[in-house]
């Protein structure tokens, strides 16, 4: 189970890194499209805070890793309980 949670945390890091690269490459003068804004809020929850307050890249990545690890813990616990009940 620890391995699976680590995989979830790694996925959080990769998603956060992908968004960081996207915003480094994206044009600074162009406004964020609504679909991109919605996707980033769904896949990187700390971005909701980042739209209102400055958040560093490192704290964003750390928060995303922690969020995905917590989601992974919940999913894997529920999956384990569901498998034991069958």
What does the DSSP assignment read for 11-59? HHHHHHHHHHHHHHHS-SSSPPPHHHHHHHHHH-TTHHHHTTS---HHH
Domain that holds residue 73: 2-85
- pLDDT reported for residue 31: 65
For the stretch 18-28, pLDDT in tens is 999 988 888 77
Kindly give the parts of the chain with pLDDT less than 50. none
Give this prediction's pTM: 0.84
The maximal CA–CA distance of the chain, rounded, in angstroms, is: 55
> Considering its fold, how many domains does the chain have in total?
1
Say how many C-beta atoms besides its own lie within 10 A of residue 62's C-beta: 15
For the stretch 53-66, pLDDT in tens is 888 889 999 999 99
């Amino acid at each position: 189970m620890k391995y699976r949670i680590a995989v979830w945390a790694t996925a959080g890091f990769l998603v956060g890194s992908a968004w960081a690269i996207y915003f480094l490459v994206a044009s600074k003068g162009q406004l964020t499209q609504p679909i991109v804004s919605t996707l980033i809020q769904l896949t990187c929850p700390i971005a909701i805070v980042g739209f209102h307050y400055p958040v560093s890249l490192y704290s964003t990545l750390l928060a995303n890793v922690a969020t995905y690890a917590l989601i992974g813990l919940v999913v894997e616990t529920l999956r384990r309980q569901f498998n034991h009940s069958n």
